[in-house]
Amino acid sequence: MPAARAEGAGKSGPAKSGPTLEQVAARAGVGRGTASRVINGSPRVSERTRAAVQAAVAELGYVPNRAARALAAGSMDAIALVVPEQENRLFAEPYFSEILRGVSTELGDTDMQLLLTLIRDQRGRERFAQYAAAHRVDGVLLVSVHADDPLPDLLRDVGMPAVLSGRRSHAEQLPYVDSDNLLGAQIAVEHLIGRGRRKVATITGPLDMYASRCRLDGYQEALRAAGKEGSAAEERLVAQGDFTEEGGHRAMRELLERDPEVDAVFCASDVMAAGARLALREAGRDVPGDVALVGFDDSAVARHMDPPLTTVRQPIEEMGRAMVRMLLDLMARDQEHTRHRSGGRDGTDGQPTLVLRTELIRRGSS
Protein backbone atom coordinates (compact mmCIF):
# COMPACT_ATOMS: atom_id res chain seq x y z
CA MET A 1 0.00 0.00 0.00
CA PRO A 2 1.23 3.56 -0.47
CA ALA A 3 3.28 5.25 2.18
CA ALA A 4 1.14 6.55 4.99
CA ARG A 5 0.94 10.27 5.46
CA ALA A 6 2.92 11.76 8.32
CA GLU A 7 0.61 13.99 10.33
CA GLY A 8 3.16 15.71 12.57
CA ALA A 9 3.42 19.46 12.70
CA GLY A 10 6.29 21.23 11.07
CA LYS A 11 5.17 22.22 7.55
CA SER A 12 3.71 25.66 7.59
CA GLY A 13 1.34 26.59 4.76
CA PRO A 14 0.48 30.10 3.70
CA ALA A 15 -2.46 30.33 6.09
CA LYS A 16 -0.52 29.18 9.19
CA SER A 17 0.92 31.85 11.47
CA GLY A 18 2.04 29.72 14.41
CA PRO A 19 5.61 28.60 15.03
CA THR A 20 6.84 25.54 13.13
CA LEU A 21 8.77 22.49 14.22
CA GLU A 22 11.74 23.77 12.22
CA GLN A 23 11.71 26.99 14.27
CA VAL A 24 11.59 25.00 17.49
CA ALA A 25 14.55 22.90 16.34
CA ALA A 26 16.52 26.00 15.34
CA ARG A 27 15.84 27.71 18.70
CA ALA A 28 16.93 24.57 20.58
CA GLY A 29 19.99 24.07 18.38
CA VAL A 30 19.03 20.56 17.28
CA GLY A 31 17.81 18.83 14.13
CA ARG A 32 14.16 18.60 13.14
CA GLY A 33 14.07 14.86 13.80
CA THR A 34 15.46 15.33 17.31
CA ALA A 35 12.92 18.03 18.09
CA SER A 36 10.15 15.76 16.81
CA ARG A 37 11.30 12.90 19.04
CA VAL A 38 11.23 15.14 22.12
CA ILE A 39 7.77 16.50 21.33
CA ASN A 40 6.46 13.00 20.62
CA GLY A 41 7.76 11.69 23.93
CA SER A 42 10.50 9.42 22.57
CA PRO A 43 13.06 8.19 25.15
CA ARG A 44 15.78 8.26 22.47
CA VAL A 45 17.14 11.69 23.47
CA SER A 46 19.36 12.99 26.26
CA GLU A 47 17.93 14.95 29.17
CA ARG A 48 19.92 18.01 28.11
CA THR A 49 18.43 17.89 24.60
CA ARG A 50 14.94 17.30 25.98
CA ALA A 51 15.23 20.37 28.23
CA ALA A 52 16.47 22.55 25.35
CA VAL A 53 13.59 21.53 23.08
CA GLN A 54 10.99 21.92 25.80
CA ALA A 55 12.32 25.41 26.57
CA ALA A 56 12.09 26.34 22.86
CA VAL A 57 8.51 25.03 22.73
CA ALA A 58 7.58 27.18 25.73
CA GLU A 59 9.32 30.30 24.41
CA LEU A 60 7.76 30.05 20.95
CA GLY A 61 4.34 28.83 22.06
CA TYR A 62 4.53 25.86 19.72
CA VAL A 63 1.45 23.58 19.71
CA PRO A 64 2.05 20.10 18.20
CA ASN A 65 -0.52 18.11 16.30
CA ARG A 66 -2.23 16.14 19.05
CA ALA A 67 -3.20 13.23 16.80
CA ALA A 68 0.37 12.77 15.60
CA ARG A 69 1.66 12.97 19.14
CA ALA A 70 -0.76 10.27 20.27
CA LEU A 71 0.28 8.04 17.38
CA ALA A 72 3.98 8.53 18.00
CA ALA A 73 3.98 7.97 21.74
CA GLY A 74 5.48 4.67 22.81
CA SER A 75 5.79 1.52 20.73
CA MET A 76 3.57 1.23 17.67
CA ASP A 77 3.99 -2.57 17.38
CA ALA A 78 4.56 -2.07 13.65
CA ILE A 79 7.37 -2.68 11.18
CA ALA A 80 7.52 -1.13 7.72
CA LEU A 81 8.72 -3.08 4.70
CA VAL A 82 9.87 -0.36 2.30
CA VAL A 83 10.33 -1.04 -1.42
CA PRO A 84 11.68 1.93 -3.42
CA GLU A 85 10.34 0.64 -6.73
CA GLN A 86 7.32 1.05 -8.99
CA GLU A 87 4.32 -1.25 -8.56
CA ASN A 88 5.01 -3.10 -11.81
CA ARG A 89 8.31 -4.42 -10.46
CA LEU A 90 6.86 -5.34 -7.07
CA PHE A 91 4.12 -7.51 -8.57
CA ALA A 92 6.05 -8.87 -11.57
CA GLU A 93 9.20 -10.14 -9.87
CA PRO A 94 9.11 -13.24 -7.66
CA TYR A 95 12.01 -11.88 -5.59
CA PHE A 96 9.73 -9.43 -3.80
CA SER A 97 6.98 -11.94 -3.10
CA GLU A 98 9.51 -14.37 -1.61
CA ILE A 99 11.03 -11.68 0.60
CA LEU A 100 7.53 -10.73 1.72
CA ARG A 101 6.70 -14.36 2.46
CA GLY A 102 9.79 -14.71 4.63
CA VAL A 103 9.14 -11.45 6.47
CA SER A 104 5.48 -12.20 7.17
CA THR A 105 6.25 -15.77 8.26
CA GLU A 106 8.90 -14.64 10.74
CA LEU A 107 6.59 -11.94 12.12
CA GLY A 108 3.75 -14.45 12.46
CA ASP A 109 4.69 -15.39 16.03
CA THR A 110 5.02 -11.78 17.19
CA ASP A 111 2.51 -9.01 17.91
CA MET A 112 4.03 -6.81 15.20
CA GLN A 113 1.97 -5.51 12.29
CA LEU A 114 3.62 -5.31 8.86
CA LEU A 115 3.17 -2.14 6.77
CA LEU A 116 4.13 -2.44 3.09
CA THR A 117 5.28 0.89 1.66
CA LEU A 118 6.21 1.66 -1.95
CA ILE A 119 8.36 4.70 -2.58
CA ARG A 120 8.19 5.93 -6.16
CA ASP A 121 10.03 9.25 -6.04
CA GLN A 122 11.86 11.81 -3.91
CA ARG A 123 8.61 13.20 -2.52
CA GLY A 124 7.62 9.77 -1.29
CA ARG A 125 11.06 9.29 0.23
CA GLU A 126 10.86 12.56 2.16
CA ARG A 127 7.33 11.79 3.30
CA PHE A 128 8.36 8.40 4.66
CA ALA A 129 11.39 9.90 6.39
CA GLN A 130 9.05 12.29 8.22
CA TYR A 131 6.76 9.37 9.07
CA ALA A 132 9.71 7.47 10.52
CA ALA A 133 11.02 10.54 12.37
CA ALA A 134 7.70 10.67 14.23
CA HIS A 135 8.32 7.01 15.21
CA ARG A 136 5.03 5.77 13.82
CA VAL A 137 6.75 2.45 13.24
CA ASP A 138 9.27 0.67 15.46
CA GLY A 139 11.61 -0.49 12.71
CA VAL A 140 12.12 -0.59 8.95
CA LEU A 141 13.10 -3.30 6.47
CA LEU A 142 14.49 -1.88 3.22
CA VAL A 143 14.46 -3.94 0.01
CA SER A 144 16.00 -3.19 -3.41
CA VAL A 145 18.03 -0.17 -2.30
CA HIS A 146 20.10 1.62 -4.94
CA ALA A 147 23.56 3.01 -4.25
CA ASP A 148 22.51 6.67 -4.19
CA ASP A 149 19.35 6.22 -2.10
CA PRO A 150 19.62 8.51 0.97
CA LEU A 151 16.70 6.91 2.82
CA PRO A 152 18.79 4.43 4.87
CA ASP A 153 20.94 7.24 6.21
CA LEU A 154 17.90 9.42 6.89
CA LEU A 155 16.46 6.60 8.99
CA ARG A 156 19.73 6.25 10.89
CA ASP A 157 19.82 10.00 11.53
CA VAL A 158 16.38 9.94 13.18
CA GLY A 159 17.26 6.91 15.30
CA MET A 160 15.04 4.43 13.48
CA PRO A 161 16.30 0.81 13.56
CA ALA A 162 16.59 -0.47 9.98
CA VAL A 163 17.91 -3.52 8.13
CA LEU A 164 18.75 -3.63 4.42
CA SER A 165 18.18 -6.48 2.01
CA GLY A 166 21.55 -6.27 0.27
CA ARG A 167 24.28 -3.69 0.61
CA ARG A 168 24.67 -0.35 -1.15
CA SER A 169 28.46 -0.84 -1.30
CA HIS A 170 31.26 -2.95 0.16
CA ALA A 171 31.57 -0.33 2.91
CA GLU A 172 27.91 -0.46 4.03
CA GLN A 173 27.55 1.02 7.53
CA LEU A 174 24.01 -0.17 8.24
CA PRO A 175 22.84 -3.67 9.22
CA TYR A 176 22.11 -5.90 6.23
CA VAL A 177 21.30 -9.40 5.06
CA ASP A 178 22.77 -10.34 1.68
CA SER A 179 23.64 -13.36 -0.45
CA ASP A 180 27.02 -14.20 -1.92
CA ASN A 181 26.38 -12.59 -5.29
CA LEU A 182 29.97 -12.64 -6.51
CA LEU A 183 30.56 -16.34 -5.88
CA GLY A 184 27.12 -17.22 -7.24
CA ALA A 185 27.87 -15.51 -10.54
CA GLN A 186 31.34 -17.01 -10.67
CA ILE A 187 30.12 -20.60 -10.34
CA ALA A 188 27.44 -19.96 -12.97
CA VAL A 189 29.97 -18.79 -15.55
CA GLU A 190 32.44 -21.53 -14.61
CA HIS A 191 29.63 -24.01 -15.32
CA LEU A 192 29.07 -22.53 -18.79
CA ILE A 193 32.78 -22.57 -19.60
CA GLY A 194 32.98 -26.13 -18.31
CA ARG A 195 30.24 -27.10 -20.77
CA GLY A 196 32.55 -26.04 -23.61
CA ARG A 197 30.98 -22.65 -24.36
CA ARG A 198 33.41 -20.28 -26.05
CA LYS A 199 31.61 -16.92 -26.06
CA VAL A 200 29.92 -16.40 -22.71
CA ALA A 201 27.96 -13.16 -22.47
CA THR A 202 26.17 -11.61 -19.50
CA ILE A 203 23.09 -9.48 -18.94
CA THR A 204 23.63 -7.41 -15.82
CA GLY A 205 21.16 -5.81 -13.46
CA PRO A 206 21.17 -2.03 -12.84
CA LEU A 207 24.77 -1.14 -12.08
CA ASP A 208 23.77 1.36 -9.41
CA MET A 209 22.91 -1.67 -7.27
CA TYR A 210 25.72 -3.45 -5.44
CA ALA A 211 24.27 -6.91 -6.10
CA SER A 212 24.42 -6.24 -9.85
CA ARG A 213 28.03 -5.07 -9.67
CA CYS A 214 28.99 -8.13 -7.63
CA ARG A 215 27.38 -10.46 -10.17
CA LEU A 216 29.25 -8.68 -12.97
CA ASP A 217 32.49 -9.00 -10.97
CA GLY A 218 31.85 -12.73 -10.54
CA TYR A 219 31.29 -13.11 -14.29
CA GLN A 220 34.53 -11.29 -15.05
CA GLU A 221 36.48 -13.25 -12.42
CA ALA A 222 35.38 -16.55 -13.97
CA LEU A 223 36.42 -15.38 -17.43
CA ARG A 224 39.73 -14.13 -16.07
CA ALA A 225 40.45 -17.49 -14.46
CA ALA A 226 39.73 -19.19 -17.79
CA GLY A 227 41.97 -16.76 -19.70
CA LYS A 228 39.01 -15.21 -21.55
CA GLU A 229 38.66 -11.75 -19.97
CA GLY A 230 40.11 -8.39 -20.91
CA SER A 231 39.93 -8.10 -24.68
CA ALA A 232 37.81 -5.58 -26.55
CA ALA A 233 35.87 -8.50 -28.01
CA GLU A 234 34.89 -9.68 -24.54
CA GLU A 235 33.65 -6.21 -23.55
CA ARG A 236 31.02 -6.55 -26.30
CA LEU A 237 29.60 -9.51 -24.40
CA VAL A 238 28.29 -7.39 -21.50
CA ALA A 239 24.83 -5.83 -21.85
CA GLN A 240 23.05 -3.94 -19.08
CA GLY A 241 19.53 -4.93 -18.05
CA ASP A 242 17.22 -3.78 -15.31
CA PHE A 243 15.93 -6.96 -13.62
CA THR A 244 12.79 -6.93 -15.80
CA GLU A 245 11.71 -9.34 -18.54
CA GLU A 246 11.61 -6.49 -21.05
CA GLY A 247 15.13 -5.49 -20.05
CA GLY A 248 16.39 -9.05 -20.56
CA HIS A 249 14.72 -9.25 -23.98
CA ARG A 250 16.23 -5.94 -25.07
CA ALA A 251 19.71 -6.81 -23.79
CA MET A 252 19.70 -10.24 -25.49
CA ARG A 253 18.82 -8.69 -28.84
CA GLU A 254 21.65 -6.20 -28.31
CA LEU A 255 24.12 -9.03 -27.61
CA LEU A 256 23.10 -10.93 -30.74
CA GLU A 257 23.54 -7.81 -32.85
CA ARG A 258 27.02 -7.23 -31.42
CA ASP A 259 28.19 -10.83 -31.76
CA PRO A 260 25.93 -13.42 -33.46
CA GLU A 261 28.30 -16.20 -32.30
CA VAL A 262 27.37 -15.84 -28.62
CA ASP A 263 26.82 -19.38 -27.37
CA ALA A 264 26.09 -18.83 -23.66
CA VAL A 265 24.53 -16.13 -21.51
CA PHE A 266 24.59 -15.61 -17.75
CA CYS A 267 21.62 -13.42 -16.73
CA ALA A 268 21.70 -11.62 -13.38
CA SER A 269 18.09 -12.66 -12.67
CA ASP A 270 15.65 -15.37 -13.72
CA VAL A 271 13.17 -12.77 -14.92
CA MET A 272 15.74 -11.30 -17.31
CA ALA A 273 16.61 -14.84 -18.45
CA ALA A 274 12.95 -15.30 -19.42
CA GLY A 275 13.19 -12.18 -21.57
CA ALA A 276 16.46 -13.40 -23.07
CA ARG A 277 14.87 -16.78 -23.86
CA LEU A 278 12.12 -15.04 -25.83
CA ALA A 279 14.65 -13.01 -27.82
CA LEU A 280 16.64 -16.15 -28.63
CA ARG A 281 13.48 -17.92 -29.79
CA GLU A 282 12.60 -14.95 -32.02
CA ALA A 283 16.11 -15.14 -33.51
CA GLY A 284 15.75 -18.84 -34.23
CA ARG A 285 18.30 -19.90 -31.60
CA ASP A 286 17.81 -23.14 -29.73
CA VAL A 287 18.35 -23.33 -25.96
CA PRO A 288 20.61 -25.00 -25.01
CA GLY A 289 21.72 -26.31 -28.42
CA ASP A 290 22.81 -22.95 -29.86
CA VAL A 291 22.92 -20.82 -26.72
CA ALA A 292 23.12 -22.07 -23.12
CA LEU A 293 21.30 -19.93 -20.57
CA VAL A 294 21.79 -19.48 -16.81
CA GLY A 295 19.82 -17.20 -14.47
CA PHE A 296 20.03 -16.08 -10.86
CA ASP A 297 17.50 -16.45 -7.97
CA ASP A 298 15.97 -19.93 -8.53
CA SER A 299 12.48 -18.47 -8.60
CA ALA A 300 9.31 -20.11 -9.92
CA VAL A 301 10.14 -18.50 -13.28
CA ALA A 302 13.20 -20.75 -13.59
CA ARG A 303 11.28 -23.95 -12.93
CA HIS A 304 8.50 -23.12 -15.39
CA MET A 305 10.62 -22.09 -18.37
CA ASP A 306 11.00 -24.31 -21.43
CA PRO A 307 13.52 -25.79 -21.03
CA PRO A 308 13.74 -25.37 -17.23
CA LEU A 309 16.37 -22.79 -16.37
CA THR A 310 19.74 -23.54 -14.81
CA THR A 311 20.10 -20.87 -12.16
CA VAL A 312 21.92 -19.73 -9.04
CA ARG A 313 19.80 -20.25 -5.95
CA GLN A 314 19.85 -17.55 -3.33
CA PRO A 315 17.69 -18.26 -0.25
CA ILE A 316 15.35 -15.31 -0.72
CA GLU A 317 12.67 -16.35 1.77
CA GLU A 318 15.33 -17.05 4.39
CA MET A 319 16.78 -13.60 3.70
CA GLY A 320 13.40 -12.10 4.61
CA ARG A 321 13.22 -14.14 7.81
CA ALA A 322 16.79 -13.25 8.75
CA MET A 323 16.08 -9.56 8.20
CA VAL A 324 13.20 -9.70 10.67
CA ARG A 325 15.28 -11.51 13.29
CA MET A 326 18.05 -8.97 12.90
CA LEU A 327 15.65 -6.03 13.14
CA LEU A 328 13.93 -7.39 16.24
CA ASP A 329 17.36 -7.82 17.86
CA LEU A 330 18.22 -4.21 16.98
CA MET A 331 14.96 -2.96 18.45
CA ALA A 332 15.58 -4.94 21.65
CA ARG A 333 19.09 -3.50 21.82
CA ASP A 334 17.68 0.00 21.48
CA GLN A 335 15.31 -0.61 24.36
CA GLU A 336 18.21 -1.92 26.46
CA HIS A 337 20.20 1.22 25.66
CA THR A 338 17.39 3.49 26.75
CA ARG A 339 17.16 1.66 30.07
CA HIS A 340 20.85 2.12 30.80
CA ARG A 341 21.74 5.49 29.32
CA SER A 342 20.19 8.52 27.66
CA GLY A 343 20.12 8.89 23.88
CA GLY A 344 19.65 6.39 21.07
CA ARG A 345 21.88 4.35 18.85
CA ASP A 346 24.89 6.13 17.40
CA GLY A 347 24.74 3.94 14.28
CA THR A 348 28.46 3.20 14.27
CA ASP A 349 29.29 0.36 16.64
CA GLY A 350 29.11 -3.33 15.79
CA GLN A 351 26.26 -3.33 13.30
CA PRO A 352 25.17 -6.88 12.47
CA THR A 353 25.58 -8.34 8.98
CA LEU A 354 24.78 -11.68 7.38
CA VAL A 355 25.78 -13.08 3.98
CA LEU A 356 24.00 -16.29 2.94
CA ARG A 357 25.51 -18.84 0.56
CA THR A 358 24.40 -19.41 -3.02
CA GLU A 359 24.47 -22.60 -5.11
CA LEU A 360 24.08 -23.59 -8.74
CA ILE A 361 20.92 -25.53 -9.67
CA ARG A 362 21.47 -27.38 -12.95
CA ARG A 363 18.53 -27.79 -15.31
CA GLY A 364 17.88 -28.20 -19.01
CA SER A 365 18.86 -24.73 -20.29
CA SER A 366 22.58 -25.45 -20.10
Angle at 260 (CA atoms; ends 258, 264), nearest 5 degrees: 100
Measured CA to CA, the distance from residue 328 to residue 162 in angstroms comes to 10
What pLDDT score does 323 carry? 95
**What interhelical angle do 245-258 and 270-282 show, nearest 10?**
50
pTM of the model: 0.75
Measured CA to CA, the distance from residue 246 to residue 124 in angstroms comes to 26
| pLDDT digit string, tens, across residues 191-217 | 999 999 999 999 999 999 999 999 999
What pLDDT score does 319 carry? 96
- Is the predicted pLDDT of residue 315 greater than 80, yes or no? yes
- Per the prediction, the chain carries an average pLDDT of 85
Q: Pinpoint the alpha helices (H) of 108-244.
A: 122-133, 151-157, 181-194, 210-225, 232-235
Confidence category of residue 6, pLDDT binned at 50, 70, 90: very low
Q: Is the peptide bond before 43 cis (omega within 30 degrees of 0)?
A: no
CA-wise closest residue to 35 among 15, 9, 61: 9
Domains and CATH numbers, the chain: 21-72 (1.10.260.40), 78-178+317-341+351-356 (3.40.50.2300), 181-314 (3.40.50.2300)
- Is the predicted pLDDT of residue 245 greater than 60, yes or no? yes
- Is the predicted pLDDT of residue 32 greater than 90, yes or no? no
- Is the predicted pLDDT of residue 253 greater than 90, yes or no? yes
| pLDDT digit string, tens, across residues 136-176 | 889 999 998 888 888 898 888 888 999 999 999 998 989 99
For 247, residues 6+ apart whose C-beta sits below 8 A from its C-beta are 203, 241, 272, 275
Q: Is-contact 82 151, C-beta < 8 A? A: yes
What pLDDT score does 350 carry? 65
The DSSP secondary-structure symbol of 2 reads B
Q: What is the mean pLDDT of residues 48-59?
A: 90
Confidence category of residue 235, pLDDT binned at 50, 70, 90: confident
What is the C-alpha end-to-end distance of the chain, expressed in Å? Answer: 40
Number of Cβ within 10 Å of residue 105's Cβ equals: 13
What pLDDT score does 65 carry? 57
**What interhelical angle do 47-60 and 21-28 show, nearest 10?**
120
Q: Is-contact 251 278, C-beta < 8 A? A: no
What pLDDT score does 348 carry? 40
- Is the predicted pLDDT of residue 10 greater than 80, yes or no? no
Q: Looking at this protein, which amino acid is placed at residue 66?
A: R
What pLDDT score does 274 carry? 97
Quick one: 308 exposed, middle or buried, by C-beta within 10 A (0-12, 13-18, 19+)? middle
| pLDDT digit string, tens, across residues 350-361 | 689 999 999 999
For 128, list phi and psi in degrees, rounded to 5. Answer: -70, -35
What pLDDT score does 257 carry? 96
Q: Looking at this protein, which amino acid is placed at residue 141?
A: L
Measured CA to CA, the distance from residue 287 to residue 310 in angstroms comes to 11
What pLDDT score does 64 carry? 67
Measured CA to CA, the distance from residue 278 to residue 308 in angstroms comes to 14
